[in-house]
Structure 1
Amino acid sequence: MLRRLLHTSQCYLWRTLPISEATYSTICGLARNFSDNASEAAVVNRAGMINKLLYRSRQRGFLELDLMVGLWAEREVPRMSSDMMNHFAEILELENPDLFKWLTGQLIPPNEVSSNPAFQALKGHVQDQLGESCHASAHAPSGKDWVRGWDDSWRKQPDASSPTSVDEK
């Protein structure tokens, strides 16, 4: 009876949160299917950790990272082991500009970041997304900064190609 009540109340609580249907069903599956050896507290702690990681993944304050990290996390976090969740929590502590450049290949990450299994999985996802959605000529080669703005290309070329007024032509 207690398990049924716990399951019903947890599913109602999580159903009111803005999470995907897959995440909802995974969390409710955890609440419904915990074994006799596991305590209810462990299930609640795991669900709390999942919610925390999902929130921090989607609310970074950097739109590109919100999308890259948040979408990956929504799919992967509910299936992660506790160790992998801890590794992912370490990644979420990193600064946004650095994380963005490391994930997109603009900078090489330090060894402690590149050896993190959660970072490796996330970077693989980001690289796959870039390969599918961006033409190779649309972004800089690996290890190079991306173009900062729409008008930066003329700054590096000879004066002949710089913007000119109509009167000069």
Structure 2
Amino acid sequence: MTGTTRSSADLDPRRRRILVRAWRRGIREMDLVIGGFADAEIGTLDKTELDQLELIMAEEDADILKWVTGEAETPEQFRLPLFERMRAYVPDFEPRVDPTEGQAPAS
């Protein structure tokens, strides 16, 4: 995935800005997490949830990444249902290794 797959044509200006910012984070992992979440949910978030999303997005990407992956405890002010829903968009960042890769074929 290289970026948004959602059209912003039906969004109001605030939602459009948030969607663009969600996909231009600076750390690719955060593009995927926040951008993926925004693609899926930006059209249905209410005003309070938009406020919360902007508040989260104002934080440093490295910190958000630690919170969503569980590497660091999420600060109290971000322990929100919205943040927990965003966590559902965390891809598996650990590379998968094929255990048969590099083995000689059986004869």
Q: Pick the TM interval, shorter chain.
A: 0.7 to 0.9
Q: Distance in 2 between matches of 1:118 and 1:55?
A: 19
Counterpart secondary structure, 1:60 = coil
Structure exhibiting the larger radius of gyration computed from Cα positions: 1
Q: Distance in 2 between matches of 1:78 and 1:120?
A: 18
* Equivalences for residues 33-48 of structure 1 within 5 A: 47-48=12-13
Moved over 3 A (4+): none
Aligned identity (percent) is 22
How does the TM-score come out when normalised to structure 2?
A: 0.74
Name which of 104, 117, 140 aligns with 2:81: 117
Q: What does residue 20 of structure 1 align with?
A: 6
Counterpart secondary structure, 2:26 = coil
**Structure 1 vs Structure 2 CA RMSD:** 2.4
- Deviations along 1:121-150, one digit per CA (max 9) or x if unpaired, are 101332xx33xx858x98xxxxxxxxxxxx
Q: What does residue 59 of structure 1 align with?
A: 24
How does the TM-score come out when normalised to structure 1?
A: 0.49
Counterpart secondary structure, 1:78 = coil
Q: Distance in 1 between matches of 2:52 and 2:81?
A: 7
Q: Unaligned 5+ residue runs, structure 1?
A: 1-17, 29-46, 139-169
Give the C-alpha shift of residue 65 in structure 1.
Answer: 0.6
Name which of 14, 37, 53 aligns with 1:72: 37
Task: Tell me how many residue pairs correspond in the alignment.
Answer: 94
